[in-house]
Amino acid sequence: MRRFKELFQPLSAAAREQSCRDALAGRPEPLGNLWIFGYGSLMWDAPFPHAEVVPVQLLKWHRAMSIWTALARGTPDCPGLSLGLLPGGVCDGVAFRIAKADQAQALPIIWEREMWTDTYRPTWVSVDIDGVERSALTFTTNLDSGQYAAGLGQDQIIEHIALAHGERGPCRDYLTNVVAELDALGITDRYLTELAQAVAARPKA
């Protein structure tokens, strides 16, 4: 069982704002509509203004329970795991179109949610939207973060999810909810479905 000495520290407001500026500076396409690729809870809980939501498939990336959570769904002594995006494979998700007029309002909301710590790395990816390749911003697992859960075997992943419990409840409930929400959107993620089944077979803490 992996343990941590303390909670992960949030980014400062200044660091968060700088991260947003840096991401936008690397924008591949001219200013105008901004597309955000969502692959986890953002898909069914998007608290920012958006004009359109389109189902898309992202190539060369896949969902993984790759991020330590020591507060929401775990503790430093028994951390849980949450969703991230790692290189390789494919990932079905949705793309949100944010109109230019709404971006000043939407971006701080997105950064406050996704970049609370250094867990994620803002990353520009390409997605096919109505036959046109578009650049979209998403949040991939930051491989340099202390929250990156690297090198875990399947049994270790199952153990942490099965036993961890944080301020927002059991980690196993988080995984179950993710799979249910994906199913409701017509998205089947075999890895997460099989993982949820394996966790369900484990006794609760």
pLDDT at 44 over 80: yes
Between CA 150 and CA 128 the distance in angstroms is: 30
Between vectors from CA 41 to CA 83 and to CA 156, what angle results, nearest 5°?
20
| Active site (annotated) includes residue 114 | yes
pLDDT greater than 80 at residue 24: yes
What pLDDT is stored for residue 205 in this prediction?
Answer: 64
Tokens of 83: 């969703």
Question: What percentage of the chain reaches a pLDDT higher than 90?
Answer: 93
Which of 114, 159, 181, 194 is labelled catalytic? 114
Between the CA atoms of 123, 41, 141 and 203, what dihedral angle is there, to the nearest 10 degrees? -170
Arithmetic mean of pLDDT, 24-30: 90
Q: Which of 80, 24, 90 is nearest to 58 (CA)?
A: 90
Residue 5 has pLDDT above 80, yes or no: no
pLDDT tier for residue 125 given thresholds of 50, 70 and 90 = very high
Let me know if domain 13-71+78-150 sits in CATH 3.10.490.10: yes
Q: Per-residue pLDDT for 23 more than 90?
A: yes
Cα distances from 10 to residues 27, 99, 115, 195, in angstroms, run: 25, 29, 8, 29
Task: Report, as an integer, the average pLDDT of 186-205.
Answer: 93
Q: Which amino acid is at 48?
A: F
Place of tokens 């017509």: 186
Residue 1 has a pLDDT of 78
Q: Is the pLDDT of residue 155 over 80?
A: yes
Distance CA 188, CA 79 (A): 26
